[in-house]
Structure 1
Amino acid sequence: MKIQSDRAALPQVPSPTTSVQGESAAPTAEIAHSNRTNTPNTTKQPPEVAAFSERGMTLTKEAMQAVNTFMETAPGTETEKLATVKALAEKGIVPNESKLKAVHAALTGVPFGKEAAEWLKESGIPFPENTRATIEKALQLGRTQEAVKMIKSAELPAEVVKQIEAILKQKGIPAETAAALKKVAEANNIPVAKLIERAAATQSEVLNNAAKQKLMEAVQILLKQQPNNTLLMELARKVEKNAPVQDIVKALRTLFISDRAAAMKPLAEAIQLADMALSKMSTALPESCIVIPKTDQIEPGPAQKSAQMIQKEPSFERVLSYIKETMPELKRSLEKAEVLFASGKEMAARGELMKAIEPLIPLPAKQTAPVVPDELFAHVPPAAKDVLVTRITEKMSQSAIDFKQFKRDITRNLQTTELLMAQKASQQAKPVIETAIKTLDQAILKSDFMLYTDMKTEKQLMQASGQLAEARKLLAKGETQQAARITAEVKALIEKVTFKPTDARVMHMITQETADTAPRVLAGAMAGLYETPTARHAFELVRAAGFTYEHEQAVALVSREKVDMPPSVKQALLSQMHQQAADGKPEQMTTTLTGQQLLSKADPGLQSMMMSLPFLLGGQSENVNVFIRSKNGGDQVDWENCSVYFLFDTKKLGPVGITISSADKNLSIKVQNDKPDFQQKMEPLTVVLKDRLADIGYRVGSVQFSEFQAKEQEATTTKQEKTSMAKGFDFTI
């Protein structure tokens, strides 16, 4: 797709109608114009009309007029306009003036993400800072020195710092050190946890510096063997710039297998010291003070389950059978219900049973509210504090309940699957395991309890989802024994997962709750994804931009329930349009966003999507373009078999393109950039990338580096055959 940029170096990703193999090159403006002037009786249709008829679509008179008017009056070249028309045809969208305008803006105009980024800059809204989240993220990524720096940046009186250093020099046992720090804290009226963190940061820094020295020693040994190795030189520079020691060691162990014998000892010592530094920092951080009360997970009783069946079970015979078996004391009511049902009055029969069962349903147990420490609300205005505390605790209480229900449902599904597999009933097990996978995926992406938990929990659930998908494939092949083994492993993993809200996540939620405008919600979503890069936070960014605005409004309307929806950018833009903004920018941004939504509409065959989003990069709001194609898995993308292309425009490196292709969870990655030393700088990071993708069940095959080749793009464009989005995007640049 064509994405414009004010940077000359930024490559243009080919549009869906000109980028894919298999369709003839677009006609010139002269030919296209002459074709449009042909009479309807001619056998050869104009290309913009043929794009629809080839897909079995017959345009109405109004639609035909809209296409002709668009081709004659819309800005851009004939090829660009034809690409817009073909994009609508590929999606099966009947054209009209507004849809043509929206898709054309999305394909050829300023990317929405760039406009949103500029909008945030103009509004002057700062990105919320969450130091605790940043420290946690640094430690999870092994960046001990970064975490140390953030902890040491916290202000402490100079005299207190000297006292901490003096205590550490005494090298007493941990209990003595803690007691001494406690005395200093009490004398200076400072929380003891703050001093313990500072002491641990000082000790970790010493250990990390020692690890760096050992690591540099290992690199120097290898450089003596290979003095001209540019990769080793780059690794040495990364050590000096405080890159994570563990990452450098992994790179050396992977990239220099045959030559590292002499460097083995310093490498082993370096990783040991680095692990000690990381462990000391991690253990010093205070555990979350949020307390979720433990409640017994009581299964619904016969009366509760009977009431649920009366309301939801379509087969009334099953309802009667269950109540007869579990509640024989209702014999008289059952007889009345059977008579009513036999005379064709099923609703009256259900009402009769419900009247008898309702008095037997026990009252719900009172849920104890979670304990959220006041320190997390330190930056909240006093007037709003009580209301916000109530709202957050209510949300967390409900999240704890939802998590228990989720865990109970999926465990029951897995138990049923195991039982069916043991009975060799593979066909009956397939839909049950499918339900378990959907439940997991739904929890990861949309359940509110994922907003409060840590990255480790999310990673465990993603891993479980991948393992169940593997079990499903084995089951389809008839390998029941292996499928049963994986199912048992997943069940054991799920049983160990607990709902543990973190201070950092709750602080982020408090920030979002106090965000009263769409720009603040968007800024908070960008900061949340930067601090904790998880699937749920990525979805929250897409949601804050307004990509799901109409869908959520429709769901709320159909359900007739009050749905808690934060302000979105699209909602704000529509509001500004109604106020007739002078500069017309809200209308332009809304049109571009609507175009992207149309281009991401589900296809009957392959699913293709495009998104341009604001993205936090180096503390600044920038733009990222995302293009996705995959097999259509119903209402979702098939993440095991898809291609995702990211296009960034960075200040230091210029344009960076990343293509990730997955075939049966086997990944191949291609990274593009025009800097001559880009591969040399990035190659050591590929080792870490592979490890992190492996953690969630993907296998990385190759990571290739190349330049953006304008000449190759021109050659490809001239040779293109008939295009079809049904074959997906060709992301060759």
Structure 2
Amino acid sequence: MEIRNVFTRQSITSPNQTLMVQKGETYDAVIKESRDGEAVVVIKGTDVRVRTEGEWPQEGRATIQIVGEQEGVPVARIVPRPPQETDKQAVHFSASEPLLPELRQVGDWLQKHGQSLTKEIVSTLRTFFTEAPGTVEQKLDTVRAVINKHLELTNVHLAAVHEALHGKPLGERLVDMVEELKVNEQKKFRVSMEGKLDDSASTSMSRVGSPQEFVQQLLQRLTALLSEPHQKANGTEMMQAINLLRDKVLHAIEQLKKEPHLEQVLDLIQKEIGEGVQIHPAWRQAFNEALTEARQFMENGRELAARKALFDMLSDMEQTLSSGSSDHVPLNGTWMQASVAMQTKDFLVQTVTAKMAQASRDFQIVKRNVMHHLETVLHWAEQRGQAARLQAKQYLESAIKQLDNVILKSDLMLFTDMATEKQLMKASSQLAEAKKRLHQGDERGARKIVNEVKDVLANMVLKPSETKVKHFVAGLGEPQADLSKAFLRQMNEAVQPFVDGPSARQLFEALRRFGFMHDYEAAESLVQKGADGEGTPQNMKATLLQLAQSGNEPIARQAEQALTNLTGQQLLNRWDAGVGMQSLFFSLPLRWQNEVRNVNVYVNARQDGERIDWENCQLYFLLETKKLGDLGILLQANERSLSITLRNDRDDFAQKAAPFIDMAKKRLEEIGYHVKMVNITKLTNETKRQEEEKRVPSVRLYGPFTERGYDFTI
């Protein structure tokens, strides 16, 4: 959504540029070229074409004033620099205290972007370089990232971006909050117990006279307290049962990893764990459902999916049992489904059925529109001439946009299986190829592709995914009044692996759960539903904002740090309209083998209208793994031909990675890429490793692209 002409003052936007300049305003500019009454200048990092008035040098720095407009192009003339600006610049470079080398470096970067190193910026940078944690190199990386994103060099921007790039990973911040919340819950329980015992003591003392009678009644009261449902887990007998069940779960996990025959593993799990889960009704139901699901996968020949279902269930059980609380069930996947109250299931069934029916109807409408567009494309593609090709291209673009909206925005993708999503993604990429063929004059090739896509859409049968439906039901619960429980629920949902396998929509939903779209969605909700707060999006950022104001100092402080990290990532992912290239950075926590691990994702791509060009881009993933150490995965796409580079410092990494390469090729080709080359190299060279060992930084290091895969400089 783009909103223009909001301000009352007149704004002028020249063709092919997005920077809006104001008539009557003055700007610091770098003149790139000037001739024949026109010039190209750099204002705030953006190239702007202007018509010149008066005498202009061919290049150099100048202060220009916008004096008018001709045919949509701003007219500018050079004006003297204001005296205060001249004084301000002189202060920086002629003061008795010389500028630090890093400040001079920042000044050079700003100058390339058409900006000045002002007194306020110098003051902000001095504070940042003095007080921020990390090395000078890391701080320079942060400043460069802020400048490249065309953000102002303010304390808030620098702190947020620095935390995102070089601070404690978001996953570790969130895990620390979970541990702190557990401590708080234990304190609350102790206070509650003490209050009940105090009440019991005061009541008993008022009713009995002898100490012996008081002690006897107190013991009876204590016994009653220990027999309450929320205290059963602390009884000796219950603890023994939980410890025994946990040992069996750990043994089952080991067998699941080692035993090649899945049928034997299923029998073992059912025999050893089936009795143990009887101590909790939610566990019993979830266990039976997971076992049934795994057997169905196995009967359909999907052994990997069956093993994953079993592993997720056992991992959730082990995590819950390790926490020592039998009444806590992790709110994710099948376990959340088991915890849904029976009295609400009818409502959930009705809700999900209605949503699926509406999504199916919406898809039929989109499908009909796309098919009509493709018929029109075929009609125009049979005609000759530039006008016919232009018409066909416009209808193709509309069809592609509708398919992409189905993938990323339609509720349908919340229910259907991954095969359907891949079909739609492949159809979208094929239509993009048809558009390219039209542009090249290959009408026959374009018509062939369009006919293939038409056949696919005509025969497409929507199949609901049981796993996705269960996951959707889990998210329909009422918002938690208790912030701690709401945070734990969202934490579990956000870090768990993708439901029913990875896909474009699953990734988009994961980013939404973390709150990367929170500000936009909150504003949209406010506009659509009014300022009553109704419909406010529920995500990790929304909950962190509430926890930061909860009054609990340790939790509020950690929530603020996590929010700073999220805000920094949002700033680094801001859309740079009109610059031609786009950079993105995500630092995402992901649960892997019952632990939260961090994955850093770097994207560098050409802009294609309002989105990035997925056919020509670079993606770099930096993962922390227990067995292999840091692992870098670089994907370079050029016209959908993909080069993959795997980076790791282990000598036996090539041997270990070999079995997965063919599988990766197949999955990438399913969504429209062609893998032409796979390389395996070292992540860091020996010199770099020795340099890192000599210094002990206060924050974790993530090197730039030139050394480990990414550079924010575009």
Structure 1 and Structure 2 fold alike (TM over 0.5): yes
Q: Which residue of 2 is the match for residue 469 of structure 1?
A: 432
Give, in whole Å, the separation in 2 of the partners of 1:376 and 1:598.
34
Matches within 5 A, 1:622-661: 622-661=597-636
Letter in 1 for 2:671: I
2:414 and 2:261 mapped to 1: Cα distance?
Answer: 25
**What is residue 534 of structure 1 aligned with on the other side?**
503
Instruction: Pick from 565, 579, 584 the counterpart of residue 550 of structure 2.
Output: 579
Secondary structure of the residue that 1:680 maps to in structure 2?
helix
Match 1:397 to one of 344, 350, 357: 357
1:478 positional shift? 0.6
Contact 1:713 1:732 in 2 (8 A): no
Distance 1:509 1:581 in 2: 32
Which of the residues 134, 141, 149 maps onto 1:76? 134
Compute the displacement of 1:689 (Å). 1.5
Q: Deviations over 1:617-647 (max 9, x none)?
A: 1232211111111012233222111111111
Distance 1:199 1:482 in 2: 43
| Candidates 677, 684, 709, aligned match of 1:709 | 684
Deviation at 1:444, TM superposition (A): 1.3
Q: Counterpart of 1:600? A: 573
Amino acid at match of 1:38: F
CA shift at 1:195, angstroms? 9.4
Contact conserved, 1:528 with 1:537, CA < 8 A, in 2? no
C-alpha separation between the residues in 2 aligned to 1:454 and 1:40? 67
Per-residue Cα deviation, 1:221-270 (whole angstroms, up to 9, x for no partner): xxxxxxxxxxxxxxxxxxxxxxxxxxxxxxxxxxxxxxxxxxxxxxxxxx
- In the alignment, does 2:174 pair up with 1:116? yes
| Residue 95 (structure 1) aligns with | 153
Sequence identity, in percent?
A: 35
Q: 1:52 is paired with a residue of what secondary structure?
A: helix
Tell me, in whole angstroms, the C-alpha distance in 2 between the residues paired with 1:546 and 1:675.
Answer: 36
CA distance in structure 2 between the partners assigned to 1:197 and 1:387 by the alignment: 27
Root mean square deviation, CA, Å: 4.1
Distance 1:613 1:47 in 2: 31
Aligned partners of 1:114 and 1:613 also within 8 Å: no
Whether 2:696 is the aligned partner of 1:696: answer no
1:506 aligns with: 469
CA contact (8 A) 1:629 1:729 kept: no
1:384 aligns with 2:344: yes
CA distance in 1, matches of 2:294, 2:688: 54
Q: Is the 8 A contact 1:546 1:571 kept in 2?
A: yes
Distance 2:136 2:593 in 1: 39
Cα gap change, 1:564/1:581 in structure 2, threshold over 3 Å: closer, same or farther?
A: same
Matching residue of 2:189: none
The 8 Å contact of residues 377 and 392 in structure 2, kept in 1 or not, is answered as yes
1:83 CA drift (Å):
2.4
For the Cα contact (< 8 Å) 1:417–1:432, is it kept in 2? yes
Quick one: which of 388, 397, 412 aligns to 2:372?
A: 412
Does the CA-based 8 Å contact 1:605-1:632 persist in structure 2? yes
* Change in CA separation of 1:707 and 1:390 when aligned onto 2, cut-off 3 Å: same
Which of 620, 637, 646 is 1:671 aligned to? 646
Helix, strand or coil at the partner of 1:641: strand
With over 3 angstroms needed to count, the CA separation of the structure-2 counterparts of 1:79 and 1:145, relative to structure 1, is closer
The residue number in structure 1 matching 2:251 is none
Q: How does 1:517-596 map to 2 (within 5 A)?
A: 517-527=486-496, 529=498, 531-560=500-529, 566-583=537-554, 584-596=557-569
Give 1:79's aligned amino acid: E
Give yes or no for contact 1:670–1:705 (8 Å, CA) kept in 2.
Answer: yes
Q: Please report how far the alpha carbon of residue 82 of structure 1 lies from its aligned counterpart in structure 2 after TM superposition.
A: 2.6
Residue 495 of structure 1 pairs with residue 458 of structure 2? yes
* CA deviation vs aligned residue, 1:336-364 (integer Å, no higher than 9, x gap): xxxxxxxxxxxxxxxxxxxxxxxxxxxxx
Larger relative contact order (CA 8 Å, sep ≥ 6): 1
- What is the aligned partner in structure 1 of residue 595 from structure 2? 620
Distance 2:291 2:629 in 1: 41
TM-score (norm 2): 0.60
Q: Displacement of 1:551 after TM fit?
A: 1.6
Structure 1 pair 502–278 and aligned structure 2 pair: CA distance change class (3 A): closer
Cα displacement string for residues 143-187 of structure 1 (whole angstroms, at most 9, x for unaligned residues): 9968646754674899xxxxxxxxxxxxxxxxxxxxxxxxxxxxx
CA distance in 1, matches of 2:562, 2:297: 49
Task: Provide the secondary structure at the position in 1 that maps to 2:476.
Answer: helix
Aligned amino acid, residue 76 of structure 1 = G
How do 1:122-271 and structure 2 match up within 5 A? 148=263, 152=267, 155=270
- Secondary structure at the counterpart of residue 498 of structure 2: helix
After TM superposition, give the deviation of residue 39 of structure 1 in Å. 3.4
**2:293 & 2:112 partners in 1: Cα distance?**
71
- What amino acid maps onto 1:590 in structure 2? L
Residues 462 and 601 of structure 1, relative CA distance in 2, 3 Å threshold: same
Q: Please name the residue that 2:400 is paired with.
A: 437
SS in 2 for 1:700: strand
Offset at 1:81? 2.4
Does the Cα contact within 8 Å between 2:177 and 2:558 map onto a contact in 1?
Answer: no
Aligned to 2:194: none
2:381 to 421, 428, 431: 421
Match of 1:263 in 2: none
* Alpha-carbon distance in structure 2 between the residues aligned to 1:390 and 1:195: 24
Contact 2:467 2:500 in 1 (8 A): no
Q: Which amino acid in 1 is paired with 2:109?
A: A
Q: Find the counterpart in structure 2 of residue 85 from structure 1.
A: 143
Matched-pair contact (CA < 8 Å) for 1:626–1:646: yes
SS at match of 2:679: strand
Say if 2:133 is the partner of 1:39: no
- Looking at structure 2, the residues matched to 107 and 715 of structure 1 have their Cα atoms a distance apart, in angstroms, of 22
Provide the aligned length of Structure 1 versus Structure 2.
478
- Cα gap change, 1:119 to 1:157, in 2 (>3 Å): closer
Q: Which runs of 5+ in 2 are unaligned?
A: 1-89, 186-257, 274-287, 310-334, 481-485, 693-703, 710-714
Moved more, 668-677 or 454-463: 668-677
CA distance in 2, matches of 1:200, 1:103: 44
SS at match of 1:57: coil
Q: 1:683 aligns with which of 648, 651, 658?
A: 658
* Contact persistence 1:117–1:622 (CA under 8 A): no
Structure 1 residues 459, 123: closer, same or farther in 2, change over 3 A? farther
Deviation readout 1:51-90 (Å, 9 max, x if unpaired): 2232123577655543343234333333332322221111
Letter in 1 for 2:125: V
Could you tell me how far 1:697 is from its partner in structure 2?
Answer: 1.4
The CA deviation at 1:659 is 0.8
Aligned residue type for 1:594: T
Query: Take 1:541 and 1:433, find their aligned partners in 2: how far apart are those partners?
Result: 30
- Per-residue CA deviation, residues 438-492 of structure 1 (Å, 9 max, x unaligned), is 2222221222110100011011111111111111110110101110110111111
Distance apart, 1:395 and its partner CA? 2.1
Matches within 5 A, 1:364-375: none
Q: Which AA in structure 2 matches 1:545?
A: F
8 A Cα contact 1:518 1:567, kept in partner? no
Correspondence for 2:327: none
SS of the residue corresponding to residue 630 of structure 1 reads strand
Q: Which has a greater percent of strand?
A: 2
Q: Compared with structure 1, are the counterparts of its residues 395 and 586 closer, same or farther at alpha carbon in structure 2 (3 Å cutoff)?
A: same
